[in-house]
Amino acid sequence: MSELIKGRKREPTIPIEKVTQPFKLHSELFALIGSFEIKLRDYLLKEMQTAFKEDKDEWYNQLKEIKLMDDQSPFKTIYDKLESRRNEDLKNKILPEEELIHYADISDYKDIVLRNWRTFANKFDRINLSKEKFEHGMVELNKTRRKVMHLRDVRPHEAKTLRLYIIPALEKIFQ
């Protein structure tokens, strides 16, 4: 018999509705961001494989030239970071992802596109997405993504901006 029924335990002082409200927003944004991230990863993989003539090694080797700007990162390049994440899976006896790109995050995708801008320029020009707009959108997306994934407070204007402006502008890439 539960302690609550026996009278030894009190009901939570915070109504369950107040506790679940932030999770509604976070789960909605999680699904929105997650869907975009999966589509972007698939799009990048396809475009980069096409650009590098299906030579996976060549396309992944160019990631060794993309330096990480984060001074606190123990990795010098995106490739180092992704390889380290794959090796962590192997070390922990987790079946690794087939493609190295699956270990990337939003900031990595941004850097990959910017480094290979010529590959994407024609398509992005057709949808009126300049290099600056793309970079800004990805930076803003990543700011909100961090808050969502780590269950931090997301302000209403951040959620609205993400839903109405950032994601729709970036999703034009897939059209």
Q: Is the pTM of this model over 0.85?
A: no
End-to-end C-alpha distance for the chain, whole angstroms: 57
- What mean pLDDT comes out for the span 38-45? 95
Measured distance CA(22)–CA(61) in Å, rounded: 42
Measured distance CA(56)–CA(53) in Å, rounded: 8
Which residues touch 125 (CB under 8 Å, ≥6 apart)? none
Count of helix runs (H) and strand runs (E) in the chain: 9, 0
With H, G, I as helix, E, B as strand and everything else as coil, classify residue 77: strand
pLDDT in tens, 51-71: 888 677 788 888 898 888 766
pLDDT in tens, 150-161: 989 999 999 999
Q: Which of 19-23, 33-37, 53-57 is predicted with the least confidence, judged by mean pLDDT?
A: 19-23
